[in-house]
Amino acid sequence: MDWQDIEWFTAVERAQTPLFIDLLIKGQSNERIFMNTGFNFSFSNILKDGLRLAYDKKEVNALGKYIRMELSKNDNNVFENFSRRCLKSCKSCIDYTSTFSKEKFSFFSNAELESICREYFNVIIDHASFLMTMIVIEPELERYFEYNIENISKKNKCMHDVDEIKQALLVPSEQTYASKNVTTLFEIGSLIQNNSIYNNLFYSCSSVDDLVNRLPNELPEVWQQICEFQDEYAWMGRLYYDGESLGIKDILLRIQNILKSDCKKKLTEIYKRMNNRIKSRKDALTQLNNDDAMIKVANLISLYLHLRTYRLDVFFISHENMIGLFKTISNRCQIPYEKIVYLRCDEIYQLLQVNDTYKFHKVSSKRRNMFSVTVLDNVTTWRSVHLTAPKCRVTYSQPNTLLELEGICANTGPVVEGFARIVLIKDDMIYMENGEILITTNILPSFLAAVEKASAIVTNEGGILSHTANISQQLDIPCVMSTKYATETFKTGDHIVVDAENGIVRKVTEAQKFTLLIPKLEDYSLPKPMHIKETLSDVQIFLSYSQEDKEKVKSIYDKLSDEGFKPWMNTQNLLPGENTIPATDKAIRQSEIFVACLSSNSVRERGNFQRELKKAQEIFEEYLSNDIYLIPVRLNNCEIPIELEKFKCVDLFQNECWNKESWKKFRNAILLALKRKRKNK
């Protein structure tokens, strides 16, 4: 069998680390799925390529058919058993990893670290059996829920508005972490706003660093709450094991953002909304006339809505509890943490056994640039390239010429008009402004910082039991989901209208701006998106390179110029007769960004490139820790110098042409540097 002959079903379109994918694949075997979920089934064909995680559509359909057959035999026992097993798995993961959350792993030998790794991975692999199976269960459970509601409405002629009753019953059995996260943050904001001393301190501090220095001594009560918040939600900073734990500075930036609103009023609205949802659910259950079977189904739906998000949260909470283990392996084996999660389980065991730093450093570096995985008939193959054959592409191919899309209403609300913000990866959230309309594939807990700012949400995917529906309802944000093509039809900055009640998203053309039957955009007082184009020409970008690579670097210079930036390259900017060294040093000092163009030529070269690099490192010492100044760019598959390993590198050499995804990351880094500079002024 060849992977190109399979029709793939896209489960997730997200950047995921190889360690996460390895654990996930191991949990999809027949043995694991049967042992953990009770389903006599397995996923023998899986594809991970770029952002896409896909499964064989025939196998997905077969599992759906299997569930329907079991359902016909045992009524709703198939869902009850699955939910009970899933809850047990969640508890096992949390109980096991919690015992290590405060452990000092530095005192353990390599053999002991390997043993703990094996035990931990085994627990997580068992839990991984519930990830994809729950995605397949969702539409079957939706159908089962709809079927039972329709049946009881036919028997009970007194039931009013069946759709309203359905909506009222969709309440999770427990408040989600995402909802608790936002509620707690507004509680801290309310505490600050209700005390003039607290409030004045937050507004008088010139920077987040200033707040970090002053809060512990001047506002110990607030500082304690922020630290407790960090302890509980640190895991939300990582996306599929990648990134850093949620830091104090990240939390303070979110607090500064919510302080722009009336936190006490917002908090009152949140509590009122929660109480109303609970009351509506009770009223809906009353209308079921004590039908025990239907009440059982309603309770099952509530439990499922909780597990829909919780079972994935547990994956990341467990990893955060074990972060000390991975940091210890990182320090002992001299491989950065961000590279450890680009190794597979077996490679981590080998690393601890033989401590071959160079070998695994090289493996993880390759995978950080690109990787793909295919599982065909349960045989797994890892590659250090992307698979690009047309049949492999599982993204929607709708042309972006549409002006209007239809979807499902996840949460109703007023018609919203505003500017679109496309968020596909975590880095995209940085540019999200208050009042913009968030457009994405689906909503994840790590996207909360963007969700909080959104006036409306539009997603490609999602059903009535999805995470997107759950989050939008708990935060009461108008939301249209399952549009299929939103991220391809619209682009950031588009002027759009979201009519959540009718499930319609519409792009506003110039002609329509004067004929819409809703208030003009200005009446909403929404902030306009940052007009980057007006400031790009102020951003000088210094390009440092080896003379042997000047043609490749010239193409970067030209592309930056075309996009409105102000690149600096010695062959292009030095005037005849200028003293090269002083002029170059001056250009480095005047540049907002220093791009180190790495290649097999420059990393071995003595002379100008090394001198310019040392100059840039000296200047970076004067920057804040979260500033972006020095960006390493690889022009070919060369080693990264040790002194640059702490900086995230981007590759611009795939197939000797521009890789759109890599260029986007490079451009986003420059824009982020500009945005942070503007904020600090």
Residue ranges of domains in the chain: 14-28+71-156+291-372+379-387, 177-287, 404-529, 533-680
Mean pLDDT of 246-268: 87
Strands (E), 552-628: 566-568, 593-598
Mean pLDDT of 327-355: 91
Tell me the pLDDT band of 18, cut-offs 50, 70 and 90: very high
Has residue 60 got a pLDDT over 80? yes
pLDDT score, position 482: 87
Identify whether the C-beta of residue 351 lies closer than 8 Å to the C-beta of residue 329. yes
C-alpha to C-alpha distance for 676 and 138, rounded to whole angstroms: 41
Tell me the pLDDT band of 118, cut-offs 50, 70 and 90: very high
pLDDT score, position 447: 78
For 99-113, 259-273, 285-299, 564-578, which range has the lowest pLDDT when averaged over its residues?
A: 285-299
Residues 28-41 have pLDDT tens digits of: 988 999 999 988 88
Instruction: Give the H or E element holding residue 262.
Output: none
pLDDT score, position 535: 52
Most confident region among 90-94, 230-234, 238-242, 354-358 by mean pLDDT: 90-94
Has residue 543 got a pLDDT over 80? yes
pLDDT score, position 326: 94
Has residue 513 got a pLDDT over 50? no
Neighbours of 575 (CB within 10 A): 6
Mean pLDDT of 433-442: 88
C-alpha to C-alpha distance for 431 and 675, rounded to whole angstroms: 8
Has residue 59 got a pLDDT over 50? yes
pLDDT score, position 229: 93
Place of tokens 């986007």: 664
Mean pLDDT of 68-74: 76
Percent of the chain with pLDDT over 70: 89
CATH class as words, domain 404-529: alpha beta
pLDDT score, position 465: 66
For 263-272, 322-331, 519-528, which range has the lowest pLDDT when averaged over its residues?
A: 519-528
C-alpha to C-alpha distance for 565 and 541, rounded to whole angstroms: 8
pLDDT score, position 679: 55
pLDDT score, position 630: 92
182 exposed, middle or buried (CB, 10 Å; 0-12, 13-18, 19+)?
buried
pLDDT score, position 627: 78
**3-state DSSP assignment of residue 638:** coil
pLDDT score, position 179: 84
**CA angle centred on 333, ends 327 and 335, rounded to 5°:** 70
Mean pLDDT of 257-261: 84
Averaged confidence pLDDT in the chain = 83
Residues 120-153 have pLDDT tens digits of: 999 999 999 998 888 888 788 888 888 877 777 7
pLDDT score, position 85: 93
pLDDT score, position 582: 85
pLDDT score, position 536: 61
Q: Which residues contact 420 (CB under 8 A, 6 or more apart)?
A: 436, 437, 439, 490, 491, 492, 493, 494, 495, 496
Mean pLDDT of 436-441: 91
Tell me the pLDDT band of 350, cut-offs 50, 70 and 90: very high
Beta 437-440 vs 456-459: how paired, if at all? Answer: parallel
pLDDT score, position 678: 59
Has residue 581 got a pLDDT over 90? no
C-alpha to C-alpha distance for 371 and 364, rounded to whole angstroms: 10
Tell me the pLDDT band of 387, cut-offs 50, 70 and 90: confident
Most confident region among 96-110, 281-295, 553-567 by mean pLDDT: 96-110
Tell me the pLDDT band of 291, cut-offs 50, 70 and 90: confident
Nearest residue to 321 via CA among 218, 411, 231, 386: 231
Mean pLDDT of 407-418: 87
Has residue 389 got a pLDDT over 50? no
Does domain 533-680 fall under CATH 3.40.50.10140? My reply is: yes
Write the DSSP symbol of residue 309: H
Instruction: Tell which wins on pLDDT, 96 or 661.
Output: 96
Identify whether the C-beta of residue 504 lies closer than 8 Å to the C-beta of residue 409. no
Q: What's the whole-model pTM score? A: 0.69
For 8-12, 402-406, 604-608, 672-676, which range has the lowest pLDDT when averaged over its residues?
A: 672-676
Name the strands in the sheet holding 416-422, side by side, starting at the edge strand that comes first in the sequence: 404-406, 504-507, 495-499, 416-422, 437-440, 456-459, 479-481, 408-411
C-alpha to C-alpha distance for 333 and 565, rounded to whole angstroms: 41
